[in-house]
């Protein structure tokens, strides 16, 4: 008997349906494993996205442009390495950035803040209120009327708590000037900003250019120009756009360093890749468990059908066709389970993207580093993850069926027909 692939497929499909209970159990295990993998990857992508978005919204922007000298000493936030001709640099950005991009100048430097009794280190941000709102969301988090008002400062929630100050209280801000001398000014707490990043909530103090120049007793340099690019649908696209735009800025300004969000969050993104590998370990473990089930399903099917194998062989079915038949059965189980896993994973990802998971308050006042305090994660759709889950499931199912298929193809006709 000469059997073509279509006939073998029909026989395999019939056998898979005939052993529906074993097929269903194996397919369910496979489907759950793939769905967990897809969901976990979506959740990790959502966590990465909220972390990067928070950094863009409150700290770095999509790109931060600084002088190369400043970048070399960035950890000390020096004032002596400002951008030469910041207005000229900003005037040329429109030609280098995507349509819809916005930018604002900022100056940051270390200060000491005192409530007249206690003192704590802080990081001063000098902002231009009108353009800062177009790049950062800091102003939206301020309670009080001190944003952009001379003689009034805005402080982070945790900094205000540490100093035991509230809106309307006086504070003293002290800075070390580039020449090594100290200077101090008195400001009123005009507002308190409930910032989602612990590092800013504990250290940030925002003031106007006039107050900062009174503090440093000199014209204030612009130490950075922060840029917000138009939103992107996926994190990898967002990072790639920022890297590309930063490269263009540096090529057109030899004395400037343009630090993209991908570069600023390099350590976090490296850790993200490690988390992604952990997700692959999970699916490998689940698929190994599933492969045992598929191996058992095909092997039991083979032993229960020795008589059928003998009949097929007696009618002329070649050993390689018998092997292909049982491999097809294992592959069909994999396709059923993988399809179910992709559909179940799609349901979970839809729920994550539409509803999300709130972790706000779960960690108390614990410093979560780059993660925001009010952590709320929405999943992200990633077609590649669905494709990977499906391909892994089918491939593992096919591999698990090879040994039983090989054993079935090696059964002699005379031995098989003894079971008739």
Average pLDDT over every residue of 95-104: 94
The answer on pLDDT for 363 being more than 60 is: no
Cβ(314)–Cβ(413) under 8 Å?
A: yes
The answer on pLDDT for 307 being more than 70 is: no
Residues 274 and 221 in one domain: no
Q: Each residue of 69-93: b (16+ CB within 10 Å) or e?
A: ebbeebeebbbebbbeebeebbeeb
Average pLDDT over every residue of 297-311: 64
The answer on pLDDT for 417 being more than 60 is: no
Residues 330 and 379 in one domain: yes
Distance between CA atoms of residues 194 and 139, nearest Å: 10
Residues 138 and 228 in one domain: yes
- Number of helices (H), then strands (E), in the chain: 15, 12
Residues 206 and 318 in one domain: no
Give the domain range for residue 47.
Answer: 5-54+269-417
> Which range, of 27-41, 59-73, 122-136, averages the lowest pLDDT?
27-41
**Which pLDDT band holds residue 379 (cuts at 50, 70, 90)?**
confident
Report pLDDT for 340: 92
Smallest CA-to-CA distance from 18 within 382, 308, 371 is with 308
Name the phi and psi angles at 155, rounded to 5.
-120, 155
Average pLDDT over every residue of 268-282: 67
**Which pLDDT band holds residue 1 (cuts at 50, 70, 90)?**
very low
Query: Which of the two residues, 88 and 365, has the higher pLDDT score?
Result: 88
Average pLDDT over every residue of 112-138: 93
Residues 256 and 134 in one domain: yes
Average pLDDT over every residue of 374-379: 75
Instruction: Give helix 306-314 / helix 266-304 axis angle, nearest 10°.
Output: 80
The answer on pLDDT for 124 being more than 80 is: yes
Smallest CA-to-CA distance from 200 within 93, 127, 100 is with 127
The answer on pLDDT for 324 being more than 80 is: no
Distance between CA atoms of residues 319 and 247, nearest Å: 61
For residue 389, what are the CA distances in angstroms to 66, 278, 352, 380, 382?
43, 15, 18, 16, 11
User: What are the start-end ranges of the H helices in 59-189?
Assistant: 68-72, 86-91, 129-135, 157-163
Cβ(61)–Cβ(263) under 8 Å?
A: no
Q: Which of 208, 238, 263 is the last residue of a domain?
A: 263
Query: Can you name the residues that pair with 358 across neighbouring β-strands?
Result: 376
Residues 120 and 204 in one domain: yes
> Which range, of 145-149, 256-260, 409-413, averages the lowest pLDDT?
409-413
Q: State both tokens at 253.
A: 């300004």
Report pLDDT for 283: 65
Q: What angle do CA 263, 259, 149 make, to 5 degrees?
A: 125
Q: What is the pTM of this model?
A: 0.75
Q: Which of 263, 296, 322 is the last residue of a domain?
A: 263
Cβ(215)–Cβ(173) under 8 Å?
A: yes
The answer on pLDDT for 228 being more than 80 is: yes
Chain center to CA of 393: 25
Residues 148 and 245 in one domain: yes
Report pLDDT for 414: 56
Report pLDDT for 262: 85
Name the phi and psi angles at 384, rounded to 5.
-60, -35
**Which pLDDT band holds residue 355 (cuts at 50, 70, 90)?**
confident
For the segment 283-293, what is each residue's pLDDT rounded down to a tens digit? Answer: 677 667 766 76
CA neighbours closer than 13 Å in the CB half-sphere of residue 378: 11
Query: Can you name the residues that pair with 371 across neighbouring β-strands?
Result: none
- The proportion of the chain whose per-residue pLDDT surpasses 90, expressed as a percent, equals 37
Report pLDDT for 278: 67
Average pLDDT over every residue of 102-113: 94
Report pLDDT for 114: 94
How many domains, the chain? 2
Chain center to CA of 23: 36
Report pLDDT for 394: 86
Residues 136 and 282 in one domain: no
Average pLDDT over every residue of 105-127: 92
- Mean pLDDT for all residues in the chain: 82
Residues 348 and 318 in one domain: yes
Average pLDDT over every residue of 216-243: 90
The answer on pLDDT for 71 being more than 90 is: no
Residues 85 and 189 in one domain: yes
Q: Is 384 exposed, middle or buried (0-12, 13-18, 19+ CB in 10 A)?
A: exposed
For the segment 158-203, what is each residue's pLDDT rounded down to a tens digit? Answer: 999 999 999 999 999 998 877 777 889 999 999 999 888 888 889 9
- The proportion of the chain whose per-residue pLDDT surpasses 70, expressed as a percent, equals 80
Q: Which of 219, 244, 263 is the last residue of a domain?
A: 263
For the segment 230-268, what is each residue's pLDDT rounded down to a tens digit? Answer: 988 888 888 899 999 999 999 998 889 999 998 888 777
Highest mean pLDDT out of 258-267, 270-279, 324-333 = 258-267
Residues 98 and 179 in one domain: yes
> Which range, of 80-84, 140-144, 184-188, 277-281, averages the lowest pLDDT?
277-281
Report pLDDT for 248: 95
Residues 182 and 209 in one domain: yes
């Amino acid at each position: 008997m000469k059997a073509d692939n279509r006939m073998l497929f029909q026989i395999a499909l019939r056998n898979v349906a005939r052993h529906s209970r074993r097929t269903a159990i194996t397919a369910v295990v496979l489907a759950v494993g793939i769905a967990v993998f897809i969901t976990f990857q979506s959740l990790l992508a959502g966590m990465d996205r909220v972390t990067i978005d928070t950094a863009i919204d409150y700290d770095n922007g999509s790109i931060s442009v600084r002088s190369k000298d400043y970048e070399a000493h960035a950890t000390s936030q020096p004032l002596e390495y400002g951008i030469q001709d910041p207005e000229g640099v900003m005037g040329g950005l429109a030609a280098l950035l995507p349509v819809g991009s916005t930018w604002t100048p900022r100056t940051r430097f270390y200060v000491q803040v005192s409530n007249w009794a206690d003192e704590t280190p802080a990081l001063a941000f000098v902002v231009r209120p009108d353009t800062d709102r177009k790049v950062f969301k800091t102003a939206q988090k301020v309670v009080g009327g001190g944003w952009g008002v001379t003689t009034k400062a805005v402080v982070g929630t945790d900094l205000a708590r540490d100093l035991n100050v509230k809106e309307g209280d006086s504070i003293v801000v002290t800075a070390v000037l580039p020449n090594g001398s100290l200077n101090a000014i008195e400001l009123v707490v005009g507002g308190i900003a409930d910032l989602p990043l612990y590092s800013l909530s504990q250290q940030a103090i925002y003031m106007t250019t006039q107050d900062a120049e009174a503090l440093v007793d000199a014209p204030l340099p612009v130490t950075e120009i922060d840029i917000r690019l138009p939103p992107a649908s996926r994190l990898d696209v967002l990072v790639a756009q920022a890297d590309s735009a930063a490269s263009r800025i540096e090529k057109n300004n030899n004395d400037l360093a343009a630090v993209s969000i991908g570069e600023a969050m390099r350590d976090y993104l490296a850790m993200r890749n490690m988390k992604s590998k952990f997700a692959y370990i999970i699916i490998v473990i689940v698929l190994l468990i599933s492969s045992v089930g598929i191996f058992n399903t095909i092997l039991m099917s083979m032993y229960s059908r020795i008589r059928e194998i003998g009949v097929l062989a007696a009618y002329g079915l070649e050993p390689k066709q018998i092997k292909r038949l049982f491999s097809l059965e294992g592959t069909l189980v994999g396709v059923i389970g993988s399809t179910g896993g992709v559909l179940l994973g799609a349901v979970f990802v839809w729920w994550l993207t539409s509803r999300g998971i709130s972790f706000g308050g779960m960690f108390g006042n614990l410093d979560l580093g780059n993660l925001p305090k009010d952590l709320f994660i929405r999943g992200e759709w990633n077609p590649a993850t669905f494709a990977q889950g499906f391909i892994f499931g089918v491939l593992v199912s096919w591999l698990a069926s090879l040994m039983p298929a090989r054993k079935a193809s090696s059964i002699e006709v005379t031995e098989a027909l003894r079971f008739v």
